[in-house]
Amino acid sequence: MTTLESKLSTAKKRLNELDFEYFVSRLAKPGEDILESMTADDAHKLHMAVGIAGEAGELLDAIKKGVIYNKPFDEPNIIEELGDLEFYMEGLRQAFGLTREAVIQHNVEKLSIRYEHGYSDTAAQTRADKA
Ligand SMILES: [Mg+2]
C-alpha cells in the first residue's frame, strides 16, 4: 500500500467513525428523556436487571477460567456469583410481584411443551411453545 493509499484509507476510516458517532448521537434516547419518565420503581427494576446481567458476566468469567484457561474451577467463587444472581433475581421477582415458584412453574410448562418427547435439536429449533 502506497503512502497516499494509506492516507486515503485512514481518512475514509475516520469519516466512517464520524458518521457512526453522528448516527448514534441522533438515535440514542437522551438520558434526560429517560429520567423524565423513569419512576423509583423503574429505577429499582433496572437496578435488579442490570445486577443480573453483571453477575451473569461474573459467573461466565469464572466458568471461562476453568474451561478455556484450564484452571481448576473456583467453586467458592461460582457459589458466590450464583448467590449474587439469586439476590438480583429475587429482587426483580419481588418488583413484579412474582414468586420464584410461579416463575419456575411457567418455565416448566414452557419447556414441557417445547420438549414434549425430551430434548432434540429439532425441538429446540421448532420451539413448539412459540407456535
Ligand atoms: Mg458477583
Output the CA 28–ligand 1 centroid distance in Å: 29
CA–CA gap between residue 51 and residue 68 (Å, rounded): 25
Neighbours of ion ligand 1 (CB under 5 A): 55, 58, 81, 84
Q: Closest Cα to residue 88, out of 63, 53, 61?
A: 53
Are 117 and 90 members of one domain?
yes
* Same domain membership, residue 81 and residue 63: yes
Q: Are residues 25 and 61 in the same domain?
A: no
Q: In 28-39, which residue ranges form alpha helices assigned H by DSSP? A: 31-37
pLDDT band at 131 (very low <50, low <70, confident <90, very high): confident
* Whether residue 1 has pLDDT greater than 80: no
CATH of the domain at 57: 1.10.287
For the stretch 53-84, pLDDT in tens is 999 999 999 999 999 999 999 999 999 999 99
Domain tally, the chain: 2
Say if residue 65 is in the same domain as residue 49.
yes
- Kindly state whether residues 101 and 65 are assigned to the same domain: yes
Task: Give the distance (Å) from ligand 1 centre to CA of residue 56.
Answer: 8
The cell for 38 is 423513569
pLDDT, tens only, 78-119:
999 999 999 999 999 999 999 999 999 999 999 999 999 999
Q: What is the pTM of this model?
A: 0.81
Instruction: For 27-48, write each residue's pLDDT tens digit.
Output: 999 999 999 999 999 999 999 9
Give me the DSSP letters along 84-128.
Answer: HHHHHHHHHHHHTT--HHHHHHHHHHHHHHHTTTS--HHHHHH-G
Q: Are residues 32 and 48 in the same domain?
A: no
Of residues 38 and 2, the one with the higher pLDDT is 38
- Cα angle for residues 128, 93, 100 (degrees, 5° grid): 65
Q: Are 84 and 113 contained in the same domain?
A: yes
Domain boundaries, position 78: 39-130
State in Å: Cα 57 to ligand 1 middle. 9
Do 33 and 44 have their domain in common? no
Mean of per-residue pLDDT scores for the chain: 95
